Amino acid sequence: MASEPARSTTARRLSSLLYGTALAITLVSATATPASAQNDVLKVIPHADLRVLDPLQIAAAVTKMHALAVYETLFAQDEALQPKPMMAESVDVSADGLTYRIALRPGLRFHDGQAVTAADVVPSLKRWMARDFVAKKMGEFMASLEADGERTVVIRLKEPYGLVEYSLSTASAIVPVIMRAKDAATDPFVAVTETVGSGPFKFERGQYAPGSRVVYTRNATYAPRSEATSGLAGARLAKIERVEWRVIPDAATAAAAIGAGEVDIWDGPTLDLLPTLEKNPAIQFVKVQQLGNFAYVRPNHLYPPFNDVRARQALALAMDQNEAMAAAIGDKRWWEPCTAYFICRSAYGIDAGAEAYRTQNLARAKQLLAESGYKGEKVVMLGTTEIPLVNAMTQVAAQQMKAIGINIDLQMMDWSGMIGRFGKKEPPDQGGWNVFAAYGTSVIWYHPLTNSGMNTACDRSNWAGWPCDEEATKLLNQFLRARGAEAQTAAVTALHRRLAEVVPLVLGGQWYPPTVARKNVSGILPTNFLAFWNITKS
């Protein structure tokens, strides 16, 4: 679902006008050259305010950015989103796949100087396993987790599980950071009171001002890995002495600040301001999110017409992603069509079985809709004007459904009210719903384990829309047990073919919002979440 703060159309237009005035002043007056000392300070406008410091309390992207600066994990994902050792020096897996012996790198130390040992790792992972759904799934296969000496962690499984290293590297939900044992002993549902990790940056709690400022300083004793930097993996080389987050909620003010050189990076700019920002010769656009975001239309599988698979297939055939993305995103540089349920450009970005959905086919859609037994009954569609992107997607999807004969009852509301309706299982004429359009974060949905929209468990405990298909659930479990890339690819291909047949949701396109930076900033990595190592200023 959308994660950016809602902003009314009127407010966005006012912001654009204010920004235009500010930028005109900026281009005339921004002539001062920063002092050389300022090259050691990186000033960043984060996409949201940092309110939660304990990474286990929330899966918000801004908390992950904070966590990845301060803490480390046993494994981390490279640019291709493949797990690589981070705190781990070596991994020894038994021939039967049931025992993992993970040796820690020598020389790991927390920011207080204390050595990192297996006695810190074990309670940290157990605390994570109490909160995160990826960890809980791994826990279903786990027999034990224990320390063997100071530098070895031993994981024993009840049956083979092909996603142990992936789970320990994930940044899709809650990041499995390693804390000091005394911090890891904190109740998983209670926030830790200190922020002491072993990563490349230290959190300066005394300078933390929620709603205004967050400060990190370089960890001078940090020992990076020797491998080349790749995504979140490899050498995390802190080349900046100090990182300052400046929280600026208003887009116009943020745009003026980076245009004037008052800040160096703006993470999460509004798309409508990009054309104006691009006119500033001191500004560059950087692709941090390799997979970006994706739009979708979610049908309710509990009630007609979309409880019939033919109606859902008709919905998919009616979708014109090019029209939807042009309306929602605009500039073709930032989007592309995609019919891969596990996200295009990812390791599982295949669209096996979904070939027919690449092109709109209204005639076939009308035929399938008629075969489903639909006879013009009202279809309740939820929508909101508070998030322009969601509104544009909603309007296009509504028109495309009308084009195949669906009688749309479009009910507009505020975003919080729309979210509140998602979980209602009542019939559409009793406060429920039939369909809605929204968007999600690809780095979460690219993997079959973390893609909640593809959960077809028939216990109705899955996400809003409640698709039920025992065959797809069986194929997902086969994927989870598959060992090795070849077996996993075969399993996910079979799963995707089944999903394309039952249509849990309809994809509406994929887009890649850029990060804005001054041109004197280099080394920003494609990590999906803005990382501060490897960056330099000149």
Per-residue pLDDT at 485 = 87
CA neighbor of 502 nearest in space, from 310, 238, 226, 324: 310
Per-residue pLDDT at 37 = 58
**Alpha-carbon distance 17 to 188, whole Å?**
46
Per-residue pLDDT at 31 = 35
- Extract the residue ranges of the chain whose pLDDT is less than 70: 1-38, 460-461
CA neighbor of 371 nearest in space, from 293, 314, 290: 314
**Which two tokens mark 47?**
């996409």
Tell me yes or no: is domain 75-184 CATH 3.90.25.10.
no
Per-residue pLDDT at 58 = 86
Per-residue pLDDT at 452 = 87
**Alpha-carbon distance 324 to 318, whole Å?**
11
Per-residue pLDDT at 244 = 97
Per-residue pLDDT at 29 = 35
**Alpha-carbon distance 311 to 317, whole Å?**
10
* Predicted confidence (pLDDT) per residue in 343-394, tens digit: 999 989 999 999 999 999 999 999 999 999 999 999 999 999 988 889 999 9
Per-residue pLDDT at 143 = 97
Per-residue pLDDT at 443 = 87
CA distances (Å), origin 186, targets 113, 191, 193, 521? 21, 7, 9, 39
Angle ∠(357,380,461) on CA atoms, nearest 5: 75
**Which two tokens mark 54?**
């304990």
Per-residue pLDDT at 133 = 85
Question: Can you point out the beta strands (E) in 195-260?
Answer: 201-203, 213-218, 242-246
Task: Enumerate long-range contacts of 477-482, CB under 8 Å, 24 or more apart.
Answer: 479/162, 479/448, 480/137, 480/161, 480/162, 480/163, 480/448, 480/449, 481/159, 481/160, 481/161, 481/162, 482/162
* Predicted confidence (pLDDT) per residue in 40-72, tens digit: 999 999 999 999 999 999 888 899 999 999 999
In degrees and rounded to multiples of 5, residue 329 shows phi and psi of: -110, -40
Residue for token pair 């109740």: 187
Paired strand residues for 245 = 44, 214
Per-residue pLDDT at 461 = 66
Dihedral sign, CA of 174, 82, 88, 153?
Answer: positive
Question: Could you tell me which residues come within 8 angstroms of residue 140 by beta carbon, excluding any fewer than 6 positions away?
Answer: none
In degrees and rounded to multiples of 5, residue 126 shows phi and psi of: -65, -35
181 Rama class: left (phi>0) / alpha (psi -120 to 50) / beta: alpha
Tell me yes or no: is domain 9-47+197-288+515-537 CATH 3.40.190.10.
yes
Per-residue pLDDT at 172 = 83
CB burial class (10 A; 0-12, 13-18, 19+) of residue 503? buried
Domain boundaries, the chain: 9-47+197-288+515-537, 75-184, 293-511
**Alpha-carbon distance 280 to 284, whole Å?**
9
- Indicate the pairing of strand 506-511 with strand 335-336: antiparallel
**Alpha-carbon distance 17 to 13, whole Å?**
6
**Which two tokens mark 420?**
């509140």
Q: Do domains 75-184 and 293-511 have the same CATH topology?
A: no
Paired strand residues for 409 = 380
CA distances (Å), origin 313, targets 14, 55, 376, 513? 41, 40, 17, 29
Selected from 3.40.50.9100, 3.10.105.10, 3.90.1150.140, 3.30.365.10, the CATH number assigned to the domain covering 293-511 reads 3.10.105.10
**Alpha-carbon distance 443 to 134, whole Å?**
14
Largest CA distance in the chain: 72
Return mean pLDDT, the chain: 90
**Alpha-carbon distance 448 to 168, whole Å?**
16
**Which two tokens mark 445?**
């949905």
